[in-house]
Structure 1
């Protein structure tokens, strides 16, 4: 389980992986050591305010991109959320660039026909209101399958091979997560810039309206990822 800032941990994803030993690594901490792919049943990489293109500025991002390449080569199930999805795209050779507008707040994603058949994203089909919080988007890597889109973003989710998923949105979000993020100055600044002075009221109200349904659907998706990890673990024993 990889995080980049203290407030963007696995949240609801961790509950779906309760049968596994979870090891959390701060990828940007000095001297951080990412685990050997051969020892892993799966990898979850979370978000953060930095860019997937910051590999020259942040050595930890450069190391993480190389590590993700090794995960893919080893067939380790991978779930990347927000920045984690962008890092997956970059590690697979695709571009990450600024979106036309920051996408922050609760809004629908609609599954593509491939997404409706996907083990994870079909839990969100045909459409689910999710939490968005990003300014950059990814191109689709070669050989990847686009799984979902939003009004602003063509590729909101993709699968690479049969075990690596990138979700640009936050299906792990609920009222607790939104409240936690709104206590962080960097998140408050981003939300105010995108939504205006009523950002806190808008996000809190939307979380109250949509979090229960998102949790129900999101948890189903995360349990599907846990099954992929269990299949990997059974092959390692």
Structure 2
């Protein structure tokens, strides 16, 4: 867990961070939120951590990705999907990233499934904002992906960004619930770990090789990081220092 916020921002309530592996990190999302003054409270449901019955006392929540599927029958997956009723009912800011977005979609009645042709997105791929997304902010043209499943658009959700093979890339539901399929949270060290530990996945259809992941970071990551800072400002309503 990260240290408390600086004295000048101690009025900010913590953000609940939900991770899915023992050594997972909130990465750049955590760094930027901490820089803005938010304390972070990390819980790992896959390792037995309970999720709170209310977000009273929290600013909001972020759910990150993981190697599991939102379609898995593990008890913690079902509980976590059901738990999304809490931020939605209380209208608290919520951000789901990859698996987190897919869990949100499943809670809202949408579906999570692999591509009909078996294609993956593992590496850097083009992104296009919808008109609703463009009205919200500027979006990066290339984003980092690491998934074999995508999500449908649940009833009442608004599509913010799209792509060729997985057309639903970012959504907003109501005022305060957000989901993105791609990964903007990776630090350089995190990307190196992913490239080493998940090398076997580079043989999957449409996946890029490790060198393309690392070369793409040099080309595209600056814009992705800038987008993330602005996006977190919109989600949590607080200025993120540059």
State the TM-score bracket (shorter-chain normalisation).
Answer: 0.7 to 0.9
Instruction: Write the distance in 2 (CA, Å) between the matches of 1:44 and 1:117.
Output: 23
* Contact 2:98/2:181, CA 8 A, preserved across alignment: yes
**Root-mean-square deviation (CA), in Å?**
2.1
**Which structure shows the bigger proportion of residues in helix conformation?**
1
Deviations 1:188-229 (A, max 9, x none): 222343467x71212111112211221122222123223179
Task: Give the aligned partner of residue 70 of structure 2.
Answer: 52
Task: Give the aligned partner of residue 183 of structure 2.
Answer: 170
* Contact 1:17/1:223, CA 8 A, preserved across alignment: no
In structure 1, stretches of 5+ residues that fail to align are 231-237
The alpha-carbon deviation at position 50 of structure 1 amounts to 0.7
Task: Give the aligned partner of residue 26 of structure 2.
Answer: 10
In structure 2, stretches of 5+ residues that fail to align are 1-16
TM-score, length basis structure 1: 0.85
Partner of 1:183, secondary structure, is: helix
Instruction: Write the distance in 2 (CA, Å) between the matches of 1:149 and 1:131.
Output: 14
Instruction: Write the distance in 2 (CA, Å) between the matches of 1:7 and 1:135.
Output: 22
Task: Give the aligned partner of residue 143 of structure 2.
Answer: 130
Alignment of 1:42-191 (within 5 A): 42-54=60-72, 56=73, 58-100=74-116, 101-118=119-136, 122-124=137-139, 127-184=140-197, 187-191=198-202
Name the CA shift for 1:8/1:82 in 2 (closer, same or farther; >3 Å).
farther
* Contact 1:173/1:214, CA 8 A, preserved across alignment: no
TM-score, length basis structure 2: 0.83
